[in-house]
Amino acid sequence: MHSSRVLPRRLSFPKICEVLIAYLNAGADKEYISVSEVAEKTTVTLHNISRNNGFFKSWGFIEESEKEQGKYRLTKEAAEFAHAYRIDPDGDLTRAILRNILSKDEVLVKFVERIRSEGIDRETALIEVPRLIGDLRADKVGLNAFLDLIAYAFQIDWISTPIKRPTKPPKKPVPSEARVVKLPVKKKVERGMLPAVGVSMEPRTNITINLTITSEITPAMLKEYIKALLEAYNEYAQENIPENED
């Protein structure tokens, strides 16, 4: 353990690089600048930059002015890394510059060797890193950023942050009591055509009438239609009643 090292605070690895580039753009390694000047060059808030200066300082990325407290500048190696990352973020030389900065810490170098030899997984590393570095107040966002930092520098691909893919929302369960009812498809009846009707033609017997009703037939139309059927049938029945024999 070594208490002089500090882990990032709620800042991702891409944002760490963004802040270093902002330092480069604001003053590089030539002059000391305030946090507000750095914040003007980046999307990271002034508060977040300020609380991560302890991390940057402890790992040799920045140095504080002895004459003006609260003003910082990049170290020469950090300026070289920020410049290289801005030009070629995936380049081997960019990774090598960062690796040289981090390799000054022997504890971290030995930990990287253990990751490779023992196959330490990410979850185990998240637990071990705060104890090894000596910063037990580290938050999970900062811890993940630090693992991404060493994975990038030492080219440990499997330890980098996994991409979270959007998941489909779970389907709502269908109650076992629910039944699917299929409604019959009604055929549209053309205007001017009457619904199908079945009439028993035997006189003096019961009448069976089957009607196919569509949305175009109103109750008034239906009533008139039935009335007309009954009247027609009565006329038919009267005409077919046999005459009484004397």
pTM: 0.64
Domain for residue 28, yes or no? yes
pLDDT in tens, 13-62: 999 999 999 999 998 888 899 999 999 999 999 999 999 999 999 999 99
Q: What is the CATH number of the domain that holds 33?
A: 1.10.10.10
166 part of a folded domain: no
CB contact at 8 A, 133 and 107: yes
- Comparing C-alpha atoms, which of 146, 161, 23, 152 is closest to residue 98? 152
d(CA 28, CA 22): 9
Domain extent at residue 100: 13-159
The answer to whether residues 67 and 116 belong to one domain is yes
Residues 221 and 119 in one domain: no
Indicate the pLDDT class of residue 111, thresholds 50, 70 and 90: very high
Of 117, 144, 159, which one is at a domain's C-terminal end?
159
Tell me, yes or no, whether 65 lies in a domain.
Answer: yes
Which pLDDT value is given to residue 194? 45
Query: What pLDDT shows up at residue 199?
Result: 44
pLDDT in tens, 177-191: 444 444 455 545 444
Are 108 and 212 within one domain?
A: no
Q: Are 16 and 145 in contact (CB under 8 A)?
A: yes
Same domain, 148 and 75: yes
- 172 in a structural domain: no
Identify the pLDDT of residue 238: 65
pLDDT interval class at 171 (50, 70, 90): low
Q: Are residues 120 and 215 in the same domain?
A: no
- Does 180 fall in a domain? no
Query: How many domains is the chain built from?
Result: 2
Give the pLDDT score at 29. 85
- Tell me what the mean pLDDT of segment 88-116 comes to: 97
Do 194 and 107 share a domain, yes or no? no
